[in-house]
Chains A and B, each alone.
Chain A
Amino acid sequence: MTDQIAVLAPDKPRGLFGDAWHALRSRPLFWVSTSLILLVVLMAVFPSLFTAADPGLAQLSRSRQPPSSDAWFGFDNQGYDIYARVIHGARASIVVGVLATAGVVVLGSTIGILAGFYGRWLDAVVSRIADIFVGVPFVLGAIVILTTLNASGGAGPVRIVAQVVLSLVVLSWPVSMRIMRSTAIAAKQQDYVKAARALGASPRRIIFKHMLPNCVAPVLVYSTIALGAFIGVEATLSYLGIGLRQPVVSWGVMINSAKDYLRVAPHALLFPAGFLTATVLAFVMLGDAVREALDPKLR
């Protein structure tokens, strides 16, 4: 198996992402998940496209009204329009998911690639620290961080979001760090890295030119799956009352406030929970599709 592989390869030059895109295009799973994600992103950016109702308007007189033609999803216990809140809630969920993912990927990959490249004591120290973070139960860790940060209470929406993102990043970076570290270690032993070192290439050049482009794929896949997971975690934390909370509107906040009236107003829980599940699923499906597309062995 040496020459025939090349002989079978197509003539048009295509890079990693060109190939992946080619494989993705033919996958229904990819199109379903991206359409869903696009829809949710649209909701987050332009909620007014979907609803004119005010998510902050509480009409106690309409409390727990079931879905009707002028309020598609009905009203919750406080008399908020559930449809309007589901639409407006997408923003907080997406913002938390995207920021936390970006933070985790940037922090984890940077540490991971450095640990993988330099090895020795740096790697040992970083790996042990990561082990400690992995050892902390996630929800417990988040409760500790969030209650400590917010001991005084009364934070504004931006601060609350920032705190939730921070706690997610602090508790999750070791995962992407480990992924990056192990791919970096594998890449470092490749002969092309040896050849570059023999030419006298600087560590910077080796990391950016030779290792990074060959190491991003696994972390990229992880990040799509993580994004979905973080949106779910945001909801969990909010449900527990330690994540986002009023005045921020998010799916988790909605689920939290609906939980006590589940029997009398199930629709108040059903709709935000349905949107949450669909969004998380969409990201996980996308991650799956991307993983298969980036792995030549699975194509």
Chain B
Amino acid sequence: MTALLEVEDLHVEFRTRDGVARVLNGVSYHVDAGETLAVLGESGSGKSVTAQTVMGILDTPPAHVTKGSVRFRGEDLLTAKPERRREVRAEGIAMIFQDALSALNPVFTVGFQIEEQLRLRRGMSRSEARARAVELLDLVRIPHARQRVREYPHQFSGGMRQRAMIAMSLALDPEVLIADEPTTALDVTVQAQIMDLLAEIQRERHMGLVLITHDLGVVAEVADRIVVMYAGRIVEQSDALSLFRSPGHPYTAALMKSLPRLDDKGAALDTIKGLPPSLLRIPPGCPFHPRCPRAEDVCSAEVPAPARLGLGRTSACHFAAEVLNG
């Protein structure tokens, strides 16, 4: 069976004045219909670059895709003809961004921006498109959608802008929705509303949802499967329950321990020493080894291959099995 959206062995580098930054070093993941895949990682780990490669909105140059494929229903988008690529992306995959204000065009009304795609791609008339835009705004629970469809993005609050973005991304009934940190800029109460909305829409439409985030809490609440990224690699891949019960990679384990808890004041936090590596000079062997509490000599010499830890679980660590068992 082919997955709905599949990224395989993606390598991307940025050629900058200071050298070549190897931003993605073999990223593979897939998402099926009706499934929520969370891409978890700290800033700079390559989450957004992966998503931008999938969407074909990466700035090239400075970016160069040096290897890998992005397949939608089995069709490779990186090698497809430009028109075909645009068509697949417009119809099949939609994306929402962290900063909804800058993703919406300030000089057009929210309604116009939704209607534009409908008229362009669906050949709807003005009035049909307007009616559909109101429906969509209603769907994402913007109150008084009929009036608000005529307003400009700056007249919307942060939460409403993100709702408008979601409405816009749903206009062409995409099969996959990529959400790049959709709630990072929002307050918790609004974040909860937006996450509920996304989960509900995803369930109803049986969409594939790729949720990019750095927030372990958000991941725990909605994800079916999780991939954890570090320095442009997937270090761990797992279903949500097992990952939180027993992480299979030292980085994931350390990340969980460094999180303050809501239900307990707790003593000093466990920290991960040092900083994420410079992508210009990724450490040899396992990229996590300078910060890893379990590192041994082999770690700086050999790049660990993803080890299978059970059904659909992998961990790119030389001692994956030991880590998993505590």
Taking Cβ atoms with an 8 Å cutoff, the residues of A that contact B are: 1-4, 7-10, 299
Evaluate contact between A7 and B279: CB separation under 8 angstroms.
yes
Selecting from B137-145, B185-193, B270-278, B304-312, the interface stretch reads B270-278
- Picked from B16, B17, B275, the residue with its CB within 8 Å of the CB of A3 is B275
Instruction: Report how far A35 CA is from B290 CA in the complex, Å.
Output: 50
Instruction: Report how far A4 CA is from B280 CA in the complex, Å.
Output: 10
B88 at the interface (CB under 8 A from A): no
Instruction: Report how far A149 CA is from B294 CA in the complex, Å.
Output: 84
Evaluate contact between B18 and A8: CB separation under 8 angstroms.
yes
Closest residue of chain B to A2 (Cβ to Cβ) is: B43
Evaluate contact between A8 and B276: CB separation under 8 angstroms.
no
Evaluate contact between A3 and B18: CB separation under 8 angstroms.
no
Evaluate contact between B43 and A7: CB separation under 8 angstroms.
no
Evaluate contact between B279 and A8: CB separation under 8 angstroms.
yes
B44 at the interface (CB under 8 A from A): yes
Instruction: Evaluate whether A1 and B18 lie within 8 angstroms (CB atoms) in the complex, with A7-B279, A8-B278 already known.
Output: no
Instruction: Report how far A2 CA is from B42 CA in the complex, Å.
Output: 10
Min C-beta distance of B14 to chain A, whole Å: 9
Evaluate contact between A10 and B18: CB separation under 8 angstroms.
yes
- Picked from A4, A10, A299, the residue with its CB within 8 Å of the CB of B276 is A4
Instruction: Report how far A82 CA is from B191 CA in the complex, Å.
Output: 76
Evaluate contact between B18 and A7: CB separation under 8 angstroms.
no
Overall SS of chain B's interface: loop
B21 at the interface (CB under 8 A from A): yes
Instruction: Report how far A4 CA is from B16 CA in the complex, Å.
Output: 13
29 residue pairs from A and B, CB less than 8 Å apart: A1-B43, A1-B44, A2-B43, A2-B44, A3-B42, A3-B43, A3-B44, A3-B275, A3-B276, A4-B43, A4-B44, A4-B276, A4-B278, A4-B279, A7-B44, A7-B275, A7-B276, A7-B277, A7-B278, A7-B280, A8-B16, A8-B18, A8-B21, A8-B278, A8-B279, A8-B280, A9-B18, A10-B18, A299-B17
Instruction: Report how far A8 CA is from B281 CA in the complex, Å.
Output: 9
Chain A residues positioned under 8 Å from B280 (CB to CB): 7-8
Closest residue of chain B to A23 (Cβ to Cβ) is: B17
Instruction: Report how far A2 CA is from B276 CA in the complex, Å.
Output: 11
Overall SS of chain A's interface: loop
Min C-beta distance of B92 to chain A, whole Å: 28
Min C-beta distance of A22 to chain B, whole Å: 9
Chain A residues positioned under 8 Å from B279 (CB to CB): 4, 7-8
Closest residue of chain A to B276 (Cβ to Cβ) is: A3
Chain B residues positioned under 8 Å from A8 (CB to CB): 16, 18, 21, 278-280
Tally chain B residues at the interface, Cβ within 8 Å: 13
Instruction: Report how far A299 CA is from B17 CA in the complex, Å.
Output: 9
Instruction: Report how far A204 CA is from B275 CA in the complex, Å.
Output: 38
Instruction: Report how far A4 CA is from B232 CA in the complex, Å.
Output: 12
Chain B residues positioned under 8 Å from A1 (CB to CB): 43-44
Instruction: Report how far A9 CA is from B16 CA in the complex, Å.
Output: 11
Instruction: Report how far A235 CA is from B302 CA in the complex, Å.
Output: 72
What 1/0 mask marks residues of chain B from 255 to 290 whose CB sits below 8 Å from any chain A CB? 000000000000000000001111110000000000
Chain B residues positioned under 8 Å from A4 (CB to CB): 43-44, 276, 278-279
Chain A residues positioned under 8 Å from B21 (CB to CB): 8
Closest residue of chain A to B14 (Cβ to Cβ) is: A8
Chain A residues positioned under 8 Å from B44 (CB to CB): 1-4, 7
Instruction: Report how far A93 CA is from B254 CA in the complex, Å.
Output: 69
Instruction: Report how far A2 CA is from B17 CA in the complex, Å.
Output: 19
Closest residue of chain A to B23 (Cβ to Cβ) is: A4
Interface set, chain B 39-65, CB cutoff 8 A to A = 42-44
Min C-beta distance of B305 to chain A, whole Å: 26
Instruction: Report how far A176 CA is from B18 CA in the complex, Å.
Output: 35
Given contacts A4-B276, A8-B280, 15 further A-B contacts (CB under 8 A): A1-B43, A1-B44, A2-B43, A2-B44, A3-B275, A4-B44, A4-B278, A7-B44, A7-B275, A7-B276, A7-B279, A7-B280, A8-B16, A8-B278, A8-B279
Chain A residues positioned under 8 Å from B16 (CB to CB): 8
Closest residue of chain B to A1 (Cβ to Cβ) is: B43
Min C-beta distance of B1 to chain A, whole Å: 37
Min C-beta distance of B12 to chain A, whole Å: 14
Chain B residues positioned under 8 Å from A299 (CB to CB): 17
Min C-beta distance of A72 to chain B, whole Å: 45
A-B pairs with lowest CB-CB distance, top 6: A4-B44, A7-B278, A2-B43, A3-B44, A3-B276, A1-B43
Chain B residues positioned under 8 Å from A10 (CB to CB): 18
Closest residue of chain A to B17 (Cβ to Cβ) is: A299
Instruction: Report how far A10 CA is from B278 CA in the complex, Å.
Output: 11
Instruction: Report how far A276 CA is from B18 CA in the complex, Å.
Output: 40
Chain A residues positioned under 8 Å from B43 (CB to CB): 1-4
Closest residue of chain A to B281 (Cβ to Cβ) is: A7
Residue of A3, A8, A10 with highest tally of chain B CB at under 10 A: A8
Closest residue of chain A to B19 (Cβ to Cβ) is: A8
Chain A residues positioned under 8 Å from B17 (CB to CB): 299
Min C-beta distance of B23 to chain A, whole Å: 9
Chain A residues positioned under 8 Å from B42 (CB to CB): 3
Min C-beta distance of B62 to chain A, whole Å: 12
Instruction: Report how far A8 CA is from B278 CA in the complex, Å.
Output: 6
Closest residue of chain B to A299 (Cβ to Cβ) is: B17
Min C-beta distance of B298 to chain A, whole Å: 26
Min C-beta distance of B233 to chain A, whole Å: 15
Instruction: Report how far A256 CA is from B44 CA in the complex, Å.
Output: 62
Min C-beta distance of A13 to chain B, whole Å: 15
Instruction: Report how far A9 CA is from B18 CA in the complex, Å.
Output: 8
